[in-house]
Amino acid sequence: MTEVTNAAHTLLSQSLPRYEPLPAGQVPSAGEVVHLTGRASPQFARESILLQVVKVEPSSVDASRGRSPGRAGWLYLTGWELDHNRRHRAERTVLVNAAGLLVRR
């Protein structure tokens, strides 16, 4: 039983990736992994995903108002959805609320 307890303690004490809100006015960089939850878009309310960012653009509404990605309320993120082993699963473009993005720190 002690071996099982020690193994469980070792597993739980390993540092897991933390995802924190993206600071206001910042956008994810190419290559950065973002955690998309229901805060970013209703489409991720039931099942969140990890997306490795390739490209960031302001939404068409924000772009028509001359807002840069850093000032946009909504962003188009193009990138790779990652599976549980962090392998590329599918290329996606998603519309997300900039204030709801979580980035790995």
Residues 6+ apart with CB under 8 A from 51: 33, 34, 36, 77, 79, 80, 81, 82, 92, 94
Answer whether 69's CB lies under 8 Å from 76's CB: no
Structural contact between residues 30 and 55, judged by C-beta atoms closer than 8 angstroms: yes
Query: Domain 25-104 has what CATH class?
Result: mainly beta
Model pLDDT for residues 16-43, shown as the tens digit of each residue: 578 999 998 899 999 999 999 999 999 9
Q: Which amino acid is at 31?
A: G
Position 17 scores a pLDDT of: 74
The domain ranges of the chain are 25-104
CA–chain centroid gap for 4, Å, is 34
Is the distance from CB of 31 to CB of 57 less than 8 angstroms? no
How long is the chain?
105
Q: Could you tell me the pTM of the whole model?
A: 0.80
Structure tokens at 80: 């790779």
Rounded CA gap, 94 and 7, in Å? 39
- How many beta carbons lie within 10 A of that of residue 73, not counting itself? 13
pLDDT band at 45 (very low <50, low <70, confident <90, very high): very high
pLDDT tens-place string over residues 70-98:
888 999 999 999 998 999 999 999 999 99
Residue 57: per-residue pLDDT: 95
